[in-house]
Amino acid sequence: MSRKRLPDLVAVLILLFLPLLLFGPVALGNRTMLPADALFLFEPYRTAAAELGVQAPHNHLVTDLILENYAWKRFVLEALSARQLPLWDPYL
């Protein structure tokens, strides 16, 4: 490899590994980034919002992440841990 390409290679490696450092627990682990404050739009969480000090969600347009995608991800992980292919969601 020539010395001219070395700075380019370093830049590419930094651009590949920096997001992995920031989002590694989400991408590779068992953590997830969720807009959990969106749950306070719906009952039974709405009644508890005042006593927990929650005013309004920051972005109510991303409620699909907590209402649908989290449940789907959990189903897929449970099916894979039971050594099954998650081809059909029995909870539909």
Tens of pLDDT, residue by residue over 13-66, are 999 899 888 888 877 777 777 888 888 888 888 888 888 888 888 887 888 888
What is the pLDDT at residue 46?
87
* Res 82: pLDDT: 93
> Which range scores top for mean pLDDT: 23-27, 57-61, 68-72, 78-82?
78-82
Contact 73, 32 (CB under 8 A): yes
CB 39 within 8 A of CB 33: no
**Residue 1, pLDDT score:** 58
Does 11 have pLDDT greater than 90? yes
Burial class (CB in 10 A: 0-12, 13-18, 19+), 49: middle
Percentage helix, strand, coil for the chain under 3-state DSSP, each rounded to 5: 65, 0, 35
